Amino acid sequence: MEHSLRAQLEKAIRAIPNYPKEGIIFRDITTLLGDASAFRRSVDELVHPYSGSSIDFVAGIEARGFILGGAMAHQLSCGFVPIRKKGKLPYDSISIEYDLEYGKDELEIHKDAIKPGSRVLLVDDLIATGGTAEASILLLRELEADIIGSCFVIDLPELGGRKKIREMGVAVRTLVEFDGH
């Protein structure tokens, strides 16, 4: 069963060489999202360990984390909180600058998005160096969230993001791994 899931996801995820820069292979999940069976299985597998848990919010990282996170929040019967790029939220927010593999960026979350002690599950499509997930965890911790785990469809283990997030004390769940960038 596990092997067939991996094969299905590997087939459903498009690889785009030299994007966003030379030497990087971009793993595009829009093809997975367009495959009803692969999309459903991905969400089901990401949610499975948390079914029956008391989760207050799924926090999705812009932008593909919104798609996965919304579906996961629906299945878990909890709220959804967006973690957005700087300047996109209309209300009082907190922000953090972080390093990307190929530059810098900034994320923000509404100050009142969650109450202290809320149980939060973090989600995005891919974990590479872990910079975006690390920044998101720091934002959630600033709001005093109880981060019960993080979920990603894709792991690029050579880049060390999974290890970085685990060292922050946050469990990591991924569905498929790819070598390289």
Q: What is the CATH number of the domain that holds 138?
A: 3.40.50.2020
pTM over 0.85: yes
Q: What is the pLDDT of residue 55?
A: 98
CA 111/CA 179 separation, integer angstroms: 37
Helix (H) or strand (E) holding 47: helix 36-47
- Which one is catalytic: 27, 41, 45, 64? 64
3-state secondary structure at position 173: strand
Domain membership flag for residue 7: no
Q: Is 41 a catalytic residue?
A: no
Per-residue pLDDT at 21: 84
Residue ranges, the chain, pLDDT below 70:
1-3, 101-102, 181
Q: By residue range, what is the domain housing residue 103?
A: 53-177
Mean pLDDT of the chain: 94
Instruction: Name 176's Cβ contacts closer than 8 Å, sequence gap at least 6.
Output: 6, 9, 10, 13, 153, 154, 155
| 8 inside domain | no
**Catalytic pick among 62, 101, 119, 141:** 101
In a domain, 21, yes or no: no
Q: What is the pLDDT of residue 101?
A: 63
**Annotation marks residue 64 as catalytic:** yes
